[in-house]
Amino acid sequence: MKFDTIVIGGGLSGLTAANVLAAKGQRVAIVTNGQSTLHFGSGSFDLLGYDTDGKVVENPLEGIKSINAEHPYAKLGTENVETLAKEAQTLLETCGIHTIGNAQRNHYRITPMGTLKPAWLSIDGMATLNIREKVVWKKVALVNIAGFLDLPTNFMLAGLAEAGLQCELKTIRMEVFDHARRNPTEMRATNVAKVIHDQKLVESVAAELNKFTGYDAILFPAVAGLRNAAEDELLRKLVNTPLYYVTPMPPSVMGVRVAMLLMDNFKSNGGIELVSNKINGGVIENNAVQYLTSDHLPDEKLKANNYILATGSFMSQGLKSDYEHVFEPILNLDVHASTNRDEWIEEAVFEAQPYMHYGVATDKAFHPLKNGKVVTNMYAVGSVLEGHNHIKQADGTGVSLLTALQVAKEILK
């Protein structure tokens, strides 16, 4: 099989690069192995939320000017980040992912535990608070669904109270949701979203929510609109009190929606997805990838003019470790990591862990290195890259989007 570009990984970075390339007429294949971490998505995208001292960054574009030289943003060029950020928001909009926010000013998103975290963009309809301004709601109702255990309401109530909100917990009970349970104790957000699948059911939920009056806003778990925003927009329209969504525990309806919409747009432009097909190796000769091999197509050599490594970090098995070293498992590309295992972690669990900075080594154009030499027809994007801690810096989705956009531009030159 021969393509213009093969993308290894179907997460945010892989889908972003693939969408740009396919839209420009390239023959692109995404090789995916299971579901991506988008299924854990919050409904928000971060650019830079915290500096290296752990302080909240109000203006991401200003904060990026002081990042370390190994950070992917530094390789992009800090002057280029603003342009790429605008292009990322435009791409999301093109795919049907409507967002609010901008790169000049972060806002706060509400986590499932009720804490507030800075974010760059949030899907329209998600509950957000501004960093500098006072809370615009005085009295809100946090409404949960009876039997839905993935919204930790006690934590959320405490967090919202700390943010200055007078918040009351309410519950709606509807027989239709009982069918969302796979067993008596399990009812995931995605199960509920599959129940709220037509106008009649949305109207029924809205009728229940309209029983709660006298509030400035209603906060409701993000369980509407799995395939697209139609159901969640209709629900907000039908509820008399301003309705906003809060993200429950994964799997995330908003994250699954983002993954589906990006993939749908990619395929509409002629893109090809090789589903559940693990890339297990390849051949590099003369500093270039000659072909890749996969589990489910053992007799096929997957060839392309360019290759994009978008396999993620440890969670997605884009990076692995044994007792002695950290490594990239497909082509054994160079990884910047300590060879002393004792230096991989800090004893204090909530401290920044050194291993979180580990990743594939690249040049400034995001070509990975193999034995210190640049692999000229391959690029690495997203969480597999070295030099940043997406947990402590709240920059993971920004790195994924922006590095993917930049690499797509390089390929199209």
Which CATH number fits the domain that encloses residue 242? 3.40.50
pLDDT for 234-290, tens place per residue? 999 999 999 999 999 999 999 999 999 999 999 999 999 999 899 999 999 999 999
Tell whether the model's pLDDT for residue 344 goes beyond 90: no
Mean pLDDT to the nearest integer, 349-363: 87
The DSSP symbol for 12 reads: H
Sign of the dihedral defined by the CA atoms of residues 224, 228, 234, 236, in that order: positive
Q: The tokens of 365 are what?
A: 């154009």
- Predicted pLDDT at 35: 84
- The domain of 201 spans 127-246
pLDDT for 97-114, tens place per residue? 999 999 999 999 999 999
Domain boundary residue, one of 211, 246, 281: 246
Least confident of 88-97, 162-171, 351-360, 389-398: 351-360
Same domain, 132 and 209: yes
Same domain, 194 and 230: yes
Assess if residue 324 is contained within a domain: yes
Q: Which amino acid is at 102?
A: N
Assess if residue 365 is contained within a domain: yes
Same domain, 392 and 264: yes
Same domain, 301 and 364: yes
Assess if residue 206 is contained within a domain: yes
Same domain, 242 and 284: no
Assess if residue 119 is contained within a domain: no
- What would the DSSP string read from start to end of 13-77? HHHHHHHHHHHTT--EEEE--S--GGGG--SEE-S--B-TTSPBPS-HHHHGGGS-TTSHHHHH-
Tell whether the model's pLDDT for residue 224 goes beyond 90: yes
Query: Can you tell me the distance from the alpha carbon of 198 to that of 315, in angstroms, rounded to the nearest whole number?
Result: 35
Mean pLDDT to the nearest integer, 338-346: 85
Domain boundary residue, one of 191, 226, 246: 246
Same domain, 263 and 236: no
- Specify the CATH number for the domain of residue 10: 3.50.50.60
Assess if residue 25 is contained within a domain: yes
Other beta carbons less than 10 A from residue 389's beta carbon: 19
Instruction: Say if CB 254 and CB 246 are below 8 A apart.
Output: no
Same domain, 348 and 214: no
CA dihedral 222, 223, 226, 229 (to 10 degrees): -50
Assess if residue 62 is contained within a domain: no
Q: Please, which residues have CB within 8 angstroms of residue 339's CB and are 6 or more apart in sequence?
A: 324, 325
Phi/psi of residue 360, nearest 5 degrees: -70, 135
Same domain, 285 and 204: no
- Predicted pLDDT at 27: 98
Tell whether the model's pLDDT for residue 340 goes beyond 70: yes
Other beta carbons less than 10 A from residue 361's beta carbon: 21
- Predicted pLDDT at 185: 62
Domain boundary residue, one of 192, 225, 246: 246
Residues of the chain above pLDDT 90, percent = 77
pLDDT for 59-94, tens place per residue? 999 999 999 889 999 999 988 999 999 999 999 999
Please give the sequence-ordered ranges of beta strands (E in DSSP) within 147-278, or none if there are none: 166-172, 217-221, 243-246, 272-274
Assess if residue 45 is contained within a domain: no
Q: Which amino acid is at 231?
A: E
Same domain, 163 and 234: yes
299 burial via Cβ count (<10 Å: 0-12, 13-18, 19+): exposed
Query: Can you tell me the distance from the alpha carbon of 195 to that of 201, in angstroms, rounded to the nearest whole number?
Result: 8
Mean pLDDT to the nearest integer, 128-149: 86
User: Strands 243-246 and 217-221: what pairing?
Assistant: parallel
Instruction: Say if CB 335 and CB 328 are below 8 A apart.
Output: yes
Assess if residue 67 is contained within a domain: no
Tell whether the model's pLDDT for residue 338 goes beyond 90: no
- Predicted pLDDT at 132: 65
**pTM for the full model?**
0.94
CA dihedral 370, 371, 374, 376 (to 10 degrees): -50
Cα–Cα nearest to 64, from 53, 83, 55, 77:
77
Q: Quote the number of domains for the chain.
A: 2
Same domain, 352 and 266: yes
Tell whether the model's pLDDT for residue 303 goes beyond 90: yes
- What would the DSSP string read from start to end of 255-306? HHHHHHHHHHHHHHTT-EEETT--EEEEEEETTEEEEEEESS-TT--BEEEE
Same domain, 239 and 267: no
Sign of the dihedral defined by the CA atoms of residues 344, 350, 356, 357, in that order: negative
Same domain, 308 and 216: no
pLDDT for 154-211, tens place per residue? 999 999 999 888 999 999 999 888 776 666 567 889 989 988 888 999 999 999 999 9
Tell whether the model's pLDDT for residue 356 goes beyond 90: no
